């Protein structure tokens, strides 16, 4: 099984090293991906048992890979929106044609907000 693309139902968003994203730290706009290298805690899927499952650049997680909220036992940050490059890819790449046909509401909402 590869980790290039998947969907996280907890946070309702795309994950995997093939998904461009923003660091989930508030105010940070660093571009990362949602692969295991950036997930909070131990590089385990969905953050494992000790992480929140959000994704952080190297500046915003500690040596154990935990975000500051998980390191201090607080509730997680709010997840960031999808990166515009990822939305554009879904809306325009031919490999997503069938998915777009099956998800017209998502397409309509994202075409309006990402035009």
Q: Are residues 101 and 76 in the same domain?
A: no
DSSP secondary structure code for residue 47 in this structure: G
Please report, in tens digits, the pLDDT of each residue of the chain (115 residues total). 578 999 999 999 999 999 999 999 999 999 999 999 999 987 888 888 889 999 999 999 887 789 999 999 999 999 999 999 999 999 999 999 999 999 999 999 999 887 6
Overall domain count for the chain = 2
Q: Are residues 59 and 95 in the same domain?
A: no
Q: Are residues 66 and 94 in the same domain?
A: no
Under a CB-based contact definition with an 8 Å cutoff, are residues 79 and 54 in contact?
A: yes
Kindly give the pairing relationship between strand 13-22 and strand 31-34. Answer: antiparallel
Helix (H), strand (E) at residue 109:
helix 104-113
pLDDT score recorded for residue 65? 85
Q: Are residues 2 and 57 in the same domain?
A: yes
Q: Are residues 41 and 64 in the same domain?
A: yes
Q: Are residues 74 and 101 in the same domain?
A: no
pLDDT score recorded for residue 62? 83
Q: Are residues 54 and 70 in the same domain?
A: yes
pTM score, whole prediction: 0.90
Range of the domain at 91: 83-115
pLDDT score recorded for residue 114? 73
Q: Are residues 47 and 34 in the same domain?
A: yes
């Amino acid at each position: 099984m590869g980790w290039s693309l998947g969907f996280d139902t907890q946070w309702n968003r795309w994950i995997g090293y093939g998904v461009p994203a923003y660091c989930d730290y508030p105010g940070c706009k660093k571009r990362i991906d949602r692969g295991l290298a950036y997930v909070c805690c131990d590089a385990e899927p969905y953050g494992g048992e000790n992480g929140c499952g959000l994704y952080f650049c190297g500046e915003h997680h500690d040596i154990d890979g935990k975000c500051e909220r998980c390191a201090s036992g607080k509730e997680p940050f709010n997840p960031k929106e999808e990166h515009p490059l990822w939305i554009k890819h879904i809306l325009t790449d031919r490999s997503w044609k069938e998915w777009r046909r099956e998800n017209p509401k998502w397409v309509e909402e994202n075409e309006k907000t990402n035009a």
